Structure 1
């Protein structure tokens, strides 16, 4: 756990200076733009740092969707009961 805590506190915050991550403020702005309609994101789209694109083809597979939903229900049931 100490290594994970160190990484979360010291290493991960440095990721915002790379093209792989954004700060909380910038991410919040992108989210607000989608919610408020400034960035048009139709249902089923994927938004990455303000850029809208179609989600992966696998995400439209009804069988996979059902498997995921069933797994989520099983996991939640374990906590509820």
Structure 2
């Protein structure tokens, strides 16, 4: 564990949001999400915080675009 004191508290909220997002989008983002997660994990494994941050930001941008399109 990382010792992060915030994640245990917000983890369940994030998991519920992810479940809802998957339900709404179906498999639309499956490949893109797997690719995004791999990039994030690879950056963390390489101890490259800038690349991890960039990969996470890209993941958020992808998901936000889908949510915005769904809402419209």
TM-score exceeds 0.5: no
Output the TM-score relative to the length of structure 1. 0.30
Output the TM-score relative to the length of structure 2. 0.33
Name which one, 1 or 2, has greater alpha-carbon Rg: 1
Larger RCO: 1 or 2 (CA < 8 Å, sep 6+): 2
